[in-house]
Structure formats: structure tokens, C-alpha cells
Amino acid sequence: MSVLSAPHFHNEKAAYAYVEARVWPEGPVCPHCGGYERISKMGGKSTRIGAYKCYQCRKPFTVKIGTIFEASHVPLRLWLQAMFLMASSKKGISSNQLHRTLGVTLKTAWFMSHRIREAMRDGDLSPFGLDGGMVEVDETYIGREPGEPVTKGGNHKMKVLSLVDRESGAARSMVLDYVTAKTVGEIVVANLSREAILMTDEARHYVKIGEQFAGHGHTNHSAGEYVSRFNPQVHTNTVEGFFSIFKRGMRGVYQHCAKRHLHRYLAEFDFRYSNRVALGIGDVPRADRLLAGIVGKRLTYQTARGAA
């Protein structure tokens, strides 16, 4: 049976039940007052699906309140379809494709996909490389940096720094305005355990940072060395593999994006990479993990459109 034939993708009541079971594993909680004891499901023909009433504060609510679905008129079953498609498409899925597949307007599809990216944003800021694990760090260049003239170096492109924890397989990426020892150093220090072994290429901005960790291995790419001749564990091939998926997606599916949205696309590629099949996470559990991220990630149309 196709995973897409599951009832929560087609039936609105089933969609609410599916989301409620994940947002409220212990039963409904009032988003207005936090109460959970005096809540009843609202009945009657004119009542909206999924409506509850809290008799502590006397206010009605649904599971959408306080999540990325709040104030959206798109049926929940279509949200679940969009989330499944985004979670399971390795290189991403364009707003145009979502618009055609789901039958919503292009503007709605664009907004849904940005809200879903918000749910993909990882709240876990625990350091990489705990217990002496190896962490690869590298930067890549993509698209156009606003207002920068085209030069030989990568300065006219947007800069991305990514970290991959070899132990957990997780990726964490950010947008940089400049690539310097200071900007790179601050991120690496904030995201790596002191016990970690840092793996980078020979770029100068890693030399000083490397001294702060238990170890620092680096290859010499400019000399054609991609795995150290002295130690086969010294390489950055994992993070470069992540960059290649990211770039294929950005070129093939999203056709680049404005800098103010780049961090959201990075959250999307980080999410799928950190929950990939090679780590034992299939499409259905990956979509469920995405659903776990919907709470407290409300994004208004203004913040989605606005600068940075």
C-alpha cells in the first residue's frame, strides 16, 4: 500500500487526530491557559473539526494554535501532504510543484513551504563532537551576495558554513557575511565540544581555532590531497557530500534564493540530511519528526517576506 493512501492525507478528521496524537501525547492542553483537566471536545453540526473548549478559561481552541498551522485556512490534510513531500524529497520540492500537486495557489504554496522550513529548524543546540567525536567543518559559496561586485575569489557569492558530526551524522549550517578567522571561529567554538576532533581543509582561518580542541586534522586540498596521507580519518569528504546535495537542490529545484531566506533553505537541507535513510530514518518517521517541530514556530506572512 502506498504511504500516501494513509487516511490523514485525505480525511480532515483523521488529519486532526494524527496531529493531535503527536502534539498532545497526553491529551489536549489549552494553549490559552495551559489547563488540561476541564477540556471537552465541541460537538454539534456547526462546530469546526478539532474544536475543543477549555472550561478553566472558557475559551475554544484547536491543535493548530501555537503551531505553524495557526491562522492558515489550508486544510490540515494538505499541510500533511506538503510536509511529507518536503520531508521525503532529497533535493527539496519547489513552491511551484507544491502549487500544482496540492491545488493551492502559488502564493499559498510559497508560504506553506517557508513555514514547513521553520518546523525543520532544529532547536537542539547541543555541541557536536561530544566524547571526542570527529566533526568536519567547511565553507561553501553559492548564488550572489547582494551588492558585491563579481571578483575572482568567492566574495560576490553568499557564504555558508556547515558542520557535520561524524558520530551522529547530523549537519548544522549557517549563513556568514564574511569568512574570517573571527566569524568562523565564533561559530565553531559555539557549536563544538572542547573534546571534539576538528577536521578541516588547510584554510588559514582554521589554524588558530583548531588549537582550542582535543585535536585538529587537516588535508591539503590545494596540493590535491583529499584524505591525509598520514591518517585516512583526516578528511572533509562527509561535509562536502552534504554540500553537493545542497547545491544540487539549490540549482535544480530552488534556482537560488535571496540571502534573507538562505538560512531557511539551509535548515531544510540540514533537517533531511540529519534524518536520512543512511541513519536508519525512513520517509514516514522523517515526516513524523518534522511534525514534532511545528510547535512554537509560528511565522507570519510579514516575517517571511521581510528582510533578514
| Residues at the site binding Zn ion, with contacts judged by CB under 5 A | 30, 32-33, 35, 54, 56-57
For Zn ion, the closer CB: 42 or 253: 42
- In whole angstroms, give the CA distance from residue 90 to residue 140: 19
Q: Output the smallest distance, CB 66 to Zn ion, in A.
A: 12
Nearer to Zn ion by Cβ, of 33 and 106: the residue is 33
* CB of 292 vs Zn ion, minimal distance in Å: 23
| Joined grid coordinates for residue 283 | 520517509
CA 283, 284, 287, 292: dihedral to nearest 10 degrees?
Answer: -140
Beta-bridge partners for 158: 142
DSSP letter assigned to residue 74: S
Closer to Zn ion at the Cβ: 56 or 97? Answer: 56
| Residue 26 or 131 with smaller CB distance to Zn ion | 26
Look at residues 285, 288, 294, 290 and name the one whose alpha carbon lies nearest to residue 63. 294
d(CA 219, CA 230): 10
How far apart are CB 60 and Zn ion at their closest, in Å? 9
- Which one-letter amino acid corresponds to residue 240? E
Closest by alpha carbon to 66, among 303, 299, 298? Answer: 298
**Range 251-255 contact pairs with CB under 8 angstroms and sequence separation of 24 or more:** 252/91, 253/89, 253/91, 253/92, 253/93, 253/94, 254/92, 254/94
Question: Which residue do the cell numbers 550572489 mark?
Answer: 144
Q: What's the min distance (Å) between Cβ of 32 and Zn ion?
A: 4
Cα 293 from Cα 213, distance rounded (Å): 32
- Least distance in angstroms from the C-beta of 35 to Zn ion: 4
Min CB(306)–Zn ion separation in Å: 32
Instruction: Name the phi and psi angles at 289, rounded to 5.
Output: -65, -35
Half-sphere exposure of 161 (CA within 13 A, CB side): 22
Cell 573534546 maps to which residue? 195
Write down the least CB distance from residue 24 to Zn ion, Å: 14
